[in-house]
Amino acid sequence: MPRETWTSEQWSTAQLMKAKGRTFREIGLAIDKSRKAVLEKFKRGRESEGKSHISFEGHRVPVPPEVMRAKEDRAAAQGRRTLTQSLLGDPPPGYSALDRTNRSQEVADR
């Protein structure tokens, strides 16, 4: 079974709550995840801490945090696609060329 996707906000909230001493169950209730999902995310989070890199020709190249956040956000957006969009390979809402063009025009109009 594939892992659940987490938004950056959910992960930030979970880390903050954990730092305040909340249980995995309390965190899960606050961010609409199961206790087990929260526990697994914290296990994976510790394992991957500081390992945000890619290998290129034998060298480790760090990936900037904003790039990792964008990747996580896009993965979370995959869940917002309809069945038809998924089957036909349409991009998630906000990621199509038309959506990006409209967004850039809105910014230019300001």
In a structure prediction context, what are the per-residue pLDDT tens digits for the chain, which is 110 residues long?
A: 556 678 888 888 998 998 999 999 999 999 999 999 898 888 877 544 445 666 677 777 777 888 888 888 888 887 788 888 888 988 888 888 898 898 888 878 87
Backbone angles phi, psi at 65, to 5 degrees: -55, -35
> Is residue 5 within 8 Å of 78, Cβ to Cβ?
yes
- CA-atom Rg of the chain in angstroms: 17
Residue 58: both structure tokens together: 């034998």
Tell me which DSSP letter residue 80 carries. Answer: G
Side chain identity, residue 27: I
CA pair distance 12, 72, nearest whole angstrom: 12
The domain ranges of the chain are: 8-88
